[in-house]
Amino acid sequence: MNIIASKLQGAAMSITPSTDREPVLDIAKLRIEFRGKSETVVAIPELSFKVMPGESYGLVGESGCGKSTTAMAIMGYLGNTGVVAGGSIRFNGKELVNASARELRSIRGRQIAMVYQDPMSALNPVKTIGAQLAEVPLLHMGASKKDAMAMAEAMLADVRLPDPGDMLRRYPHQLSGGQQQRVVIAMALLAKPSLLLLDEPTTGLDVTVEAAVIDLIAELRQRYSTSLLFISHNLGLIAESCDRLGIMYSGEMVEEGLTGEVFRGPKHPYTRGLIDCIPDVTGDKRSRTLAAIPGSIPLPQERPQGCLFGPRCSSFAAGLCDRPDLALEHVADGHLVRCVRWQEIPAAEVMVAGVETGTVARSTAVSLIDVNRLYPVGYQKTVKANEAVTFDAATAEIVALVGESGCGKSTLARIVTGLDKATSGEIRMAGENLAELQASKRPRSLLQQVQMIFQNPDSTLNPSHPAAFSIRRSIKKFGIRKGKAEIEQRVRELLEMVRLSPAVADRKPSQLSGGQKQRIAIARAFAAEPSLIVADEPVSALDVSVQAAVVTLLLDIQREKHATMLFISHDLALVRHVADKVVVMYLGKIMEQGTVEEVFGEGAHPYTEALLSAIRSPHPDEAPRERVRLSGETPSPINVPAGCRFSTRCHRKLGTICDTVPPPLRQISGTHEILCHIDEAELAARPSVLAVDRKA
């Protein structure tokens, strides 16, 4: 009853729309500028694309490529400074640029609806869900209040929300993030729009919830035959849910075509780079290293002449690629690419061989024994952020902690580094127990041993000081080098190690890109010459092309310095590429731990199965795999289920025993442990969810 196994594969499931029909959305030579007081920024120089009736069109690109600006222009929400400086946006043949407010009002919400990234800000916190949903039929269809409520209730049932009647009377804050997003989708679909804009609709959601929302969108799209404009930075999502896609780079379309064609035979070097730098959950670091695209996206004011991707392209040819009039060229019918050399660039570059990590006999570097962290909240209530966490890490090993938000992985990171302290338990490292020692109580030598790389590049460096300030302080404080000249020399070495120019040292953080800031943060962590590095989602805030470069760099340095690393992430594909050992957490407890091969191989915890199965692969050719879909969402850590924590969502639940009795620890092998009621033999016999696909 808990399992929703769908065999849908987005790209294959829809009929290719006939081209002789009028497009629903026709954007031609669109130019968008932001006019500030002192300068004008051209966000989009020239953009053209069409969305046909019933089609799902994906707009992909990294941050700053102009994909959201395009969506905002379609809705006519460019703000005070944004101006459509040229071109046209036609919706069902009607021009939207310079349309009167009244005309726009009749189209917006009624014929074009939008689903935003953050559902909480799309819902009015002081109105009930019912009141907000009913507004749509009341305003746009002139329905009576009673009819409107009935329609709202039916729509809530359609978006698979439990107990829609009750849901109508609730307020947004009483719903979880996934439920809120479903409400927003319901609201968008109520007016039966002919075009639905989805701007990163699942970016803020956990992977298992994201998977369910994407399935829902695909299903609703078929039922309502709505055209979709799907905006995302996630290639896997687009590959699965779109018929056609356009790849945007710095405000320009660089490649456009049918999803299958583009992914099978990407022609533009940027598209290729983008596909190559995504970690693939079926391969690990021994089989393949991530290919990274050097550099970062140019700012709108600094676009190079000719091909915008030129400065980052390995096949750049002077005199050819820097001509100012590069047009989209036809590769095949409907497949366009903006690259003059697409025929010359070799089709498949040889994948760089993976790294060999010799498994030498290792000693234990750090071991956690029964670590608990309880936070008292309110009257006689406690949040169990971590409960009985036990694992150890060997010297120079990378242990990945994975889990969805609220699973306690970040709390654990803070306890290990001393930014928080455990309520009970032991963290043994170099003969000392760190569990209850906060940073201020730790001796300097211990502080030096454990350093941290943080998640958010925008807050990791102090905006008031030069970039290298904290690196310098760290060297000085721990006495790594003495004397001004020596310290400066060391700073230069460290910057070189993270592949940054020494000139970066004196820049303010506001002048650096996210990737550069994260490199500085890595240099800072290694400046102390620690033996344990705790990396809390070090690349989750970066764009995919930059992410690959930073991860590879981090791995290179870690290997060179023989530092042990706790790598915290929610991205399983990335973890597969990074880790030696994986610890899967759910609601503060370890569900499964083992080597990468064991966790990603046969015989996994049901929760791990669900996590793995939620990963979208950017390979449209893969055989459809059976997906495990979880219903519901992570319960609140205040009211954890009495038996197995995962029992409320488990698709392999045995019965009441799961609800009432805490599960035993099943020892599958010397290194592989699973916390589950299902017995060892049955767990081990189950094939991996990943094994089904990619038979080749």
Partner 1 sequence: MAVQDNIAAIPAEATRRAARPGWMRIFHSRTAVVGLCLVLFWVIAALLAPILPLPSPTDSDVMAMTNPYPSAAHWLGTDVLGRDVLSRLIFGARTVLSVAPLSVAVAMLVGITMGMIAGYYGGWIDVLISRFSDIILAFPVLVIYVILIANIGPSVLNIVIATTIASAPGIGRITRGLVLGLKEQEYIAAAKLRAESTLYIMIVELLPNCRSLLIVDACLRIGYTIITIGILGFLGLGLPPPNPDWGGMVKESVTVLNVWPHMSLIPSFALVSLVLGFNLLADGMREAWKP
Shortest distance, position 695 Cβ to partner 1, whole Å: 28
The least distance separating partner 1 from the CB of residue 356, rounded to whole angstroms, comes to 14
Among residues 241 and 410, whose Cβ is nearest to partner 1? 410
Residue 298 within binding range of partner 1, rule CB under 8 A: yes
Nearest Cα neighbor of 244 from 68, 54, 32, 45 is: 54
Site for partner 1 in 448-487 (CB under 8 A): 450-452, 454-456, 459-465, 470, 473-474, 477-478
Q: How many other C-beta atoms can be found within 10 angstroms of the C-beta atom of residue 345?
A: 15
Position 447 contacts partner 1 (CB under 8 A): yes
In the list 294, 334, 376, 624, the residue contacting partner 1 (rule: CB under 8 A) is 294
Choosing from 18, 100, 301, 380, the residue that interacts with partner 1 (CB under 8 A) is: 301
Q: In Å, how far from its chain's centre is CA 50?
A: 27
Q: How far is the CB of 293 from partner 1 (least distance, A)?
A: 8
Contact 42, 300 (CB under 8 A): yes
Asked if residue 417 binds partner 1 (CB under 8 A), the reply is yes
Of 282 and 460, the one with the shorter C-beta distance to partner 1 is 460
Q: H helices of 418-538, where?
A: 444-449, 469-477, 484-497, 514-527
Contact 6/627 with Cβ under 8 angstroms? yes
Instruction: Closer to partner 1 by CB, 375 or 478: give it.
Output: 478
CA-wise closest residue to 609 among 671, 569, 651: 651
Query: Smallest distance, Å, CB 342 to partner 1?
Result: 22
Site for partner 1 in 45-74 (CB under 8 A): none
Q: Single out the residue of 204, 265, 283, 295 in contact with partner 1 (rule: CB under 8 A).
A: 295
The tokens of 11 are what? 């790209």
Closer CB to partner 1, 228 or 557, in the complex: 557
* Cβ neighbour number for residue 351 with a 10 Å cutoff: 12
Q: Across-strand partners of 536?
A: 568
567 touches 646 (CB < 8 A): no
What is 96-151 written as a DSSP string? -TT--HHHHHHHBTTTEEEE-S-HHHHS-TTS-HHHHHHHHHHHHS---HHHHHHH
Residue 298 C-beta: closest distance to partner 1, Å: 8
Residue 504 touching partner 1 (CB under 8 A): yes
Tell me the site size for partner 1, rule CB under 8 A.
62
From the list 89-97, 197-205, 365-373, 439-447, the region that binds partner 1 by CB under 8 A is 439-447
**Does 639 interact with partner 1 (rule: CB under 8 A)?**
no
Which is it for the CA torsion 231, 234, 237, 243, positive or negative?
Answer: positive
Q: How far is the CB of 345 from partner 1 (least distance, A)?
A: 17
**Shortest CB 230 distance to partner 1, Å:** 29
CB under 8 A: which stretch of 213-221, 505-513, 635-643, 680-688 binds partner 1?
505-513
Smallest distance, partner 1 to C-beta of residue 353, A: 10
Could you tell me the smallest distance in angstroms from the CB atom of residue 495 to partner 1? 10
- Interface characters, 539-578, with partner 1 (x: CB under 8 A): ---------xx--xx--x----------------------
Q: Does 311 bind partner 1 (CB under 8 A)?
A: yes
In whole angstroms, what separates CA 178 from the centre of its chain? 15
The H-or-E segment that residue 257 falls in is strand 252-258
Task: Compute CA distances 150 → 66, 73, 173, 183, 282, whole Å.
Answer: 39, 33, 23, 15, 46
Confirm or reject binding of residue 510 to partner 1 (CB under 8 A).
yes
DSSP-derived secondary structure letter, 687: P
Q: Which residues partner with 25 through β-bridges?
A: 51, 91
- Min dist CB 161 to partner 1, Å, is 34
Phi, psi angles (nearest 5°) of residue 597: -60, -40
Nearer to partner 1, 132 or 474 (CB): 474
Read off the DSSP letter of residue 3.
-
Query: What angle do the packed helices 484-497 and 514-527 form, to 10 degrees?
Result: 130
CB contact at 8 A, 401 and 601: no
Cα-flanking dihedrals φ and ψ of residue 433, to 5°?
-100, 110
Contact present, 158 and 167 (Cβ < 8 Å): no
* Residue selected from 290, 434, 539, 578 as contacting partner 1 according to rule CB under 8 A: 290
Encoded one letter per residue, x for contact with partner 1 by CB under 8 A and - for no contact, window 524-543 reads x---x---------------
Q: What angle do CA 554, 596, 555 make, to 5 degrees?
A: 10
Contact in structure between 40 and 2 (CB atoms under 8 Å): no
Provide the 10 A C-beta neighbour count for residue 482.
10
Compute the least distance from the CB of residue 41 to partner 1, in Å: 9
The window from 180-188, 288-296, 624-632, 652-660 that contacts partner 1 (CB under 8 A) reads 288-296
Question: Considering only 43-51, 55-63, 262-270, 510-518, which stretch makes contact with partner 1 by CB under 8 A?
Answer: 510-518
Selected range binding partner 1 among 86-94, 287-295, 331-339, 391-399, rule: CB under 8 A: 287-295
Of 512, 584, 587, 658, which lies in the binding site for partner 1, with binding defined by CB under 8 A? 512
List 31, 105, 499, 561, residue binding partner 1 (CB under 8 A): 499
| Contacts (CB under 8 A) with partner 1, residues 133-192 | none
Q: Whose Cβ is closer to partner 1: residue 127's or residue 492's? A: 492
Q: Which of 398, 435, 500, 522 binds partner 1 (CB under 8 A)?
A: 500
Q: Does 302 bind partner 1 (CB under 8 A)?
A: yes
Burial class (CB in 10 A: 0-12, 13-18, 19+), 110: middle
3-class DSSP state for residue 602? coil
In terms of Cα–Cα distance, which of 119, 211, 249 is closest to 172? 119
State which residue, 156 or 551, has the beta carbon closest to partner 1. 551
**Is residue 38 a contact point for partner 1 (CB under 8 A)?**
yes
Asked whether the beta carbons of 585 and 403 are under 8 A apart, the reply is yes
Minimum Å distance from CB 2 to partner 1?
38
Q: Which helix (H) or strand (E) holds 554?
A: helix 544-561
Closer by beta carbon to partner 1, 211 or else 520 = 520
Residue numbers at the binding site for partner 1 (CB under 8 A):
37-38, 289-292, 294-296, 298-299, 301-302, 311, 352, 417-419, 439-440, 444, 447, 450-452, 454-456, 459-465, 470, 473-474, 477-478, 499-501, 503-504, 507-508, 510-513, 515-516, 519, 521, 524, 528, 548-549, 552-553, 556
